[in-house]
Structure 1
Amino acid sequence: MLTGISHHTVYVLDQEEALAFYCGKLGFEITSDVDLGFMRWLTIALPSEPGRQIMLEVPGPPFADDDTAAQLRDLMTKGALGAAAILTADDCRATYEELRAKGVEFTEEPTEQPYGIDCALRDPFGNPVRITQPAEGPVTAEDFAEHGESATDLRA
């Protein structure tokens, strides 16, 4: 039986720039940095969740051939690969202000949503990242209806 998620990949164009952003600005820490010869295995995690790691991977061998890597880079810079991460915070508005002061550029300011308070940014490579202060309790379709939207409106 599965017991958890240990790693998730976020594609980046430059691993050093990714470290400057994810560690230097967002507060992640390096969990492994290994030169395997054919690739650099670089993972980060939040100090509060060291068992959930993000691998900062440059598209290319051994996981993708050159043509596929070029397609991935193109999709990534357009933000078309989907959310790199949805991060949680105890206070979304305070986190937003703290990160703005560090030079993080946001695409959406903190906004009340049925599921909590939420804001959005893009990493230096175009990957969407969201920060959410989750609402207490379960969220239902009725919560979205009370908010004046449907759950499918989130896809826009």
Structure 2
Amino acid sequence: MGAEADYFQPPGGVILTHLLIVRDVDRSREFYERVLGAECVRERMPAVLRFHNSYIVINTEGGPTDDKPDVQARAPRDAGTLSSAMNIRVTDVRAVYEQWRARGGEFLTEPKDHGVEIRCYLRDPDGYLIELGQGTGILAEMGLAGA
């Protein structure tokens, strides 16, 4: 089996993924590959991208289906309202910030130190917010400093 084996046949029987409903699957897939460095394991219907130890599933907008008869799948209509965000934790937020910026990622601000963590945010092509953060003081609070 290839790199996608744990998505389609999860070890232990379960894997958590993050579904994004987008307006243009190709544009979003290209963003996650180019900027974040995700690996595409399925191109569409839905697109599946491996991102380190998790997966991003990308599918297009659409109407109800037989298993969700009252649900419309829609990309965010208002980038100023937050209802869901991906949180990506790294060991060196400034290095990843610079790498993703060089790849075309447009951040809202540079990384900001909030005592317990250093974090910054960028948006994908549909306006989904992506938090990029590094634990700092929170590690000491949890007794994990130097671990």
* TM-score past 0.5 threshold: yes
Following superposition, the deviation at residue 68 of structure 1 comes to 2.7
Do 2:86 and 2:130's aligned partners in 1 also have CA atoms closer than 8 Å? Answer: yes
2 CA distance for matches of 1:125 and 1:23?
15
2 CA distance for matches of 1:64 and 1:126?
24
Structure 1 runs of 4+ aligned residues shifted over 6 Å read 63-67
Following superposition, the deviation at residue 83 of structure 1 comes to 3.3
Please say if 1:8 is aligned against 2:18. yes
**Corresponding residue for residue 142 of structure 1:** none
Change (3 A) 1:137 1:83: farther
**Corresponding residue for residue 109 of structure 2:** 108
Which has the larger helix fraction?
Answer: 1
Alignment RMSD = 2.7
**Corresponding residue for residue 55 of structure 1:** 57
Q: SS of the counterpart of 2:113?
A: strand
Please say if 1:97 is aligned against 2:107. no
**Corresponding residue for residue 78 of structure 1:** 78
Q: Percent identity?
A: 28
Following superposition, the deviation at residue 137 of structure 1 comes to 4.2
Q: SS of the counterpart of 1:96?
A: helix
2 CA distance for matches of 1:101 and 1:90?
19
2 CA distance for matches of 1:104 and 1:125?
13
Following superposition, the deviation at residue 94 of structure 1 comes to 1.4
- In the alignment, structure 1 segments of 5+ residues that lack a partner are 35-39, 140-156
- Normalising by structure 1, we get a TM-score of 0.68
Do 1:121 and 1:128's aligned partners in 2 also have CA atoms closer than 8 Å? Answer: yes
2 CA distance for matches of 1:137 and 1:32?
40
- In the alignment, structure 2 segments of 5+ residues that lack a partner are 1-11, 143-147
